[in-house]
């Protein structure tokens, strides 16, 4: 039985994981961490990670960027595998995450959806074919009105994957209203829409002369992210220290 510690247990995805894990034969949610203690859970919940004394086999994190540094320190001290699903991390925190992976196994992905990661692979392939033919690249992401970070971590992951295919020679443009000029070719536009209860939508537009190609992914439920996180947790508990991502999981 894999014992799971849920960091961010009272958030929407944390509660989704709590519900799904009840039906898993090989997993048990033994404790949670969340500063908001207004929800009654069938497991002990602590306001901060430092207060949690409960041993576990793996930590799943769906919290906020500001909570991740303390979580990394806790995981290092306890030598516990860690699945980090929180987005909007600063460069400093990502560097800390990479350094921590020398001591413990860490799974880090901007999006836990299988479909989104397929979208990224398709976008990379499309870039290889279309970039030299003068196609412009734009990314549009849409999320609910409660999402804090913008653009989404997934949109940035898509942009980074595309840019790696282009030898990191493109720059990112987040707001075209700040500069009045024609669009340079070696640029990836990234646009964020926030409204209502949109779970998550990502479109990658390749705009050429007289033809346009759009790759799209829509999530209609947060359950896809929860299922992906549980798959990552199962994958990670048997691993040695290192930094793992969805590519490793898909190839396992």
Q: Quick one: 129 and 160 in the same domain?
A: yes
For residue 212, what is the domain's CATH number?
Answer: 3.30.360.10
Looking at the predicted structure, is the pLDDT value of residue 10 above 80?
Answer: yes
Q: What's the rounded Cα separation, in Å, for the pair 111 and 91?
A: 18
Percentage of the chain beyond pLDDT 70 is 100
* Domain count for the chain: 2
Where residue 183 falls (left for φ over 0; alpha for ψ -120 to 50; beta otherwise) is beta
Q: Quick one: 49 and 146 in the same domain?
A: no
Q: Quick one: 43 and 95 in the same domain?
A: yes
For residue 52, what is the domain's CATH number?
Answer: 3.40.50.720
The per-residue pLDDT of the chain, averaged, comes to 94
Confidence of residue 76 (pLDDT cuts 50, 70, 90): very high
Q: Quick one: 128 and 204 in the same domain?
A: yes
Q: Quick one: 104 and 129 in the same domain?
A: no
Q: Quick one: 205 and 227 in the same domain?
A: no
Q: Quick one: 125 and 189 in the same domain?
A: yes
Q: Which domain, by its residues, includes 134?
A: 114-219
**pLDDT value at residue 24:** 92
Confidence of residue 83 (pLDDT cuts 50, 70, 90): very high
Confidence of residue 222 (pLDDT cuts 50, 70, 90): confident
Q: Quick one: 6 and 88 in the same domain?
A: yes
Q: What's the rounded Cα separation, in Å, for the pair 118 and 113?
A: 9
Which of the residue ranges 22-31, 71-80, 176-185 would you say has the lowest mean pLDDT?
176-185
Query: Which amino acids are annotated catalytic?
Result: 143, 147
- What is the per-residue pLDDT across 160-194, written as a single tens digit (0 to 9) for each? 999 999 999 999 999 888 888 899 999 999 999 99
Looking at the predicted structure, is the pLDDT value of residue 114 above 90?
Answer: no
Q: Quick one: 118 and 201 in the same domain?
A: yes
């Amino acid at each position: 039985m894999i014992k799971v510690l849920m960091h961010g247990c009272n958030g929407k995805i944390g509660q989704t994981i709590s519900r799904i894990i009840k039906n898993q034969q090989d997993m048990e949610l033994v404790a949670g961490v969340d500063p908001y203690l207004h929800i009654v859970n069938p497991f002990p919940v602590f306001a901060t990670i430092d207060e949690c004394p409960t041993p576990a086999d793996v930590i799943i994190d769906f919290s906020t960027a500001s909570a991740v540094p303390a979580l990394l320190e806790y995981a290092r001290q306890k030598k516990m595998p860690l699945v980090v699903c929180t987005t909007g991390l600063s460069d400093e925190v990502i560097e800390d995450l990479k350094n921590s992976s020398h001591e413990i196994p860490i799974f880090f992905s901007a999006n836990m959806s299988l479909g989104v990661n397929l979208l990224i692979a398709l976008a990379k392939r499309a870039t290889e074919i279309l970039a030299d033919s003068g196609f412009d690249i734009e990314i549009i992401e849409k999320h609910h009105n409660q999402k804090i970070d913008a653009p989404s971590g997934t949109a940035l992951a898509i942009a980074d994957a595309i840019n790696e295919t282009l030898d990191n020679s493109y720059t990112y443009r987040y707001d075209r209203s700040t500069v009045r000029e024609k669009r340079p070719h070696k640029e990836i536009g990234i646009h964020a829409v926030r409204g209502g209860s949109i779970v998550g939508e990502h479109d990658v537009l390749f705009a050429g002369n007289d033809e346009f190609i759009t790759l799209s992914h829509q999530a209609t439920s947060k359950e896809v992210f929860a299922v992906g996180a549980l798959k990552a947790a199962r994958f990670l508990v048997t691993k040695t220290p290192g930094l793992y991502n969805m590519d490793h999981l898909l190839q396992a």
